Chains A and B, each alone.
Chain A
Amino acid sequence: MYPQVLLQNRKPNRIATMDEYRQSGGYQALTMALQKYSPKEVQQIVIDANLQGRGGAGFPAGLKWKAVADDFPLPRYIISNIDEYEPGTFTDRVMTHTDPHMIIEGMLIAGYAVLAEKGIIFVRPSYESSAIIFEREIRIAKEAGYLGKNILGSNFSFDMLVHRSGGRYICGEGTAQINAIQGKRPHPLQSPIRSTEKGLWDKPTVLNNMETLVNVPHIVRHGAEWFKDLAKTKTSSGTKLYCVSGKVNRPGCFELPMGIRLSEIIEEYAGGMLPGYEFKTCLPGGASTYYLQKKFYEVEMDFDSLKKAANRLGTGAIIVFDQKTCLVGATLNLIEFFVRESCGWCTPCREALPFIRDLLWRIETGEGREEFIPMLRRMSQHTWKSYCAFAPGATMPVTSLLDNFPDEVQEHISQKKCPYKA
């Protein structure tokens, strides 16, 4: 059993109360930060700890905070979301139902590090219970003096509020999320000014993934070296909440050292494959990653190792596919999802994705032709011209289907049917 940091207060069927969080050391880091460290020092600790953003890009959180320059105007904002629409991903759900005060404290310290005055938690409709939990726990934190004016007798004042979304995948994209909060149509902006300079209401705004923020109190309390030592690999640090779903015995969310091997996660923690099912592949980090080749079954699950395996850690949501599941069908399902969730604003995304869907649908239903394969590749390339990362991400399963499982596609074309259907 590896050390549990983020899920240390996990309980069956209920959240940890503020008192329980405090008993485990909660809010000590806030006190330390406000009394011992300047905002710049907090930034430096987090930079030293190499806290990579857990949302998918892996950008160091401390450097993002540093991008808010001293002379940038006030007020400044922090935004985090409980809006994980990425298929296979449910860390936010688990975390908010485990220890909401860890999220509140993480956001508070991040707010202090960039001298923000307001934190906004953006919540999707299907997580209404998380929104209700947050509204209640924010009130409790306020009564305890952790939020509001002059927190714990310092000069730092910070408030937090819940923003309910109407529900769309694209709201997870930073500039789209800012539009959404401002009550504008949530489409991403093309080549925007960095939100750390000009974000929400044109003020400096830091967007941090929720899982990134919950690490912050522990880093402040225990130091950068301790945090780095939690990971199994040199280039990564901390623990990671890995979600495992698909054909395994125990699907779930597991806190494990960053860089743990994929095989260990699946076999030891997710209980191995269901009886009668064999591992064929997985998407290692949600829908916007590549189908993993079986030769990488032992890959170390961190940002760098997956990059070396020509893949992405993404959200660390491992979707496991077995030998009986058709990958053309799975890719068609994923593309259907992306077509529906595309905001429709820019042409490459709006036009290319439905084109890809149509070609995949024909292959799956037995009308596939050889020349569709270069067409799929060309269309996938076009998506790299779109405004945001949505469409290129959408085509990752497509190109990896063609690259890593060409025989499966060929069988559909030559047999003029889906070989997985009776």
Chain B
Amino acid sequence: MMRMSLPQSVAAGLIAAALISPAFAQDVGAPTKEQLQQALPKPAYSPYADRDFPTRPFFGETHLHTSFSMDAGAFGARLGPKDAYRFARGEQVISSTGQPAKLSRPLDFLVVTDHSDNMGFFPDLFAGKPEILADPTGRKWYDLIQSGKGEEAAVDIIVAFSHATFPKDLMYFPGTRAYRSAWQETIAAAEQYNEPGRFTAFIGYEWTSNTGGNNLHRNVIFRDNGDKASQVQPFTVYPPYGSDNPAELWKWMDAYEQKTGGSVLAIAHNGNLSNGLMFPVVEAFGKRLDREYAELRAKWERLYETTQTKGTGEAHPSLSPNDEFAAFEIWDKGNLDGSVAKKKEMLEFEYTRSAYKNGLKLERQLGANPYKFGLVGSSDAHTGLTAMEEDNFFGKTVPQEPSPRRISGVFINNPATGVKIMDWEVGASGYAAVWAKENTRASLWDAMQRKETYATTGPRMIVRFFGGWDFAAQDATNRLPAQIGYTKGVPMGGDLRAAPQGKSPTFLVAALKDPIGANLDRYQIIKGWLDRNGNLQEKIYDVAWSGDRKPGSDGKIPSVGSTVDIANATWTNTIGAPELITVWRDPDFDPGQPAFYYGRVIEIPTPRWTAYDAKRYGVTPLPGTTMTVTERAYTSPVWYTPAN
């Protein structure tokens, strides 16, 4: 609830003035703070005085790898965590392929999330760290590298891994001096670049469960500073120190909080490469889902990464055939390593919308909803560069850094399964937007915890989404919608419960275009619900759109069109709108049916990174290459839960 009291600073100033004024004191005595508050008009002249809600979204990245991740290092990444933080906060750096790189605008925060298993091994080896050289094998590898036989050393290392002959003393396991050193270096980088109020450098890591090539990764983010984070070492996957079961990660998180008094949360990786394992509905890791599973998952996994370089996972066209915007940057050919081809029946258990729907059903069955998560986007880049702008895209891995060849390169190719993914299919996506009161670890993390977040596929559009029972049309004419939104409703990530008699949910929604980006096409609300027959339903409502388009016979707003000149990689803002705002009431509401609502804001079409590359390098894309993109944002939902 918004407070409308006198600003404390003003009150304090007046009180101080009274104390140092003998005349004032002699005449009427010093007023109390309470008296002053009563005496001054409410609200204050400044409509912004004493606001107590988030007033701007902070844009950042919750999933970025550097050379400390073993796979990133193997792909040639030379930038470490410090480089990554420097780049994210707006500095120019030299990429691993020698190219100057800089963001169009600084980001507000970054979490470097290197893989917890074998964190830091590659840089340490090539730097000749004492821990490595103390071991005879480590010494041998280092000497090979120094004598120009680096490839021989690399093969030796990798074969040692694959044949389980890797020297135990060189393994970067939790508890070893080397691993501890790498983790401390990661923490130190975050501590060095964390600048409260200006740029937040979170401490974090990625737990990399990947059994059978099925991606169940989670990014773990600390609310805390290094004093607490350094009391533990990351949870890994290797037994006996770690596990590939997320339930074990949750235990680790709980133990961390118990030990340090700190706080951590986890963000599940885009599930589109999990081959049906990210959002189970029956069992997980051989154990039947129960209320405890649902509660623990909802407790620890507050957010979900719905878009990243390896595809966008909000919805799938075969799951949502009536959604003309569902076929967006879809990766549905197989699992993470292409070792198992995708089957249609897997899709339901790896996409955001279907997880939200199944969550409603599970809540009815188990008494708790395991999939009540908020949304973010992030890159999962393995370059140390969170560069996800279409005209400034530095790829997912170092081989995909800008070059005339990347548009025709192959990313995954498994002839045995037929899974083949081209480099051009990698998306320049995305970022996380967090509605926080200030740019600090605590404030941003708290906003993540309450799911007041949204995902973008790259642009920094500003998106509001409030749910309540009493929003009225005139609320959308106010230039301070947030003030009304927080007063009369709940923001994205919130809950509506037990509908008042005769009322339907209302939503105050607003979006502003990215200041240097494209105009907006439309604002949609996606609703999912569990009907009275126990069937899951979904429906998409166009609630605000540009121009004077009228819904067609199918109820859908016609296409906004396109101004994209692919050959020149340009577009104009002659279509679309710079802002959209409205109040929408659910016309199909049934107070007895649990539901979720989230916002989707879609930009007008713009050139995709492939179009920029084709123009920049004068290369011809392969047939079928996607050359335009309709960037978008996805808000965390507002859930409705019936009284009983």
- Bound pair: A and B? no
Mark A residues whose CB is within 8 Å of B. Answer: none
Mark B residues whose CB is within 8 Å of A. Answer: none
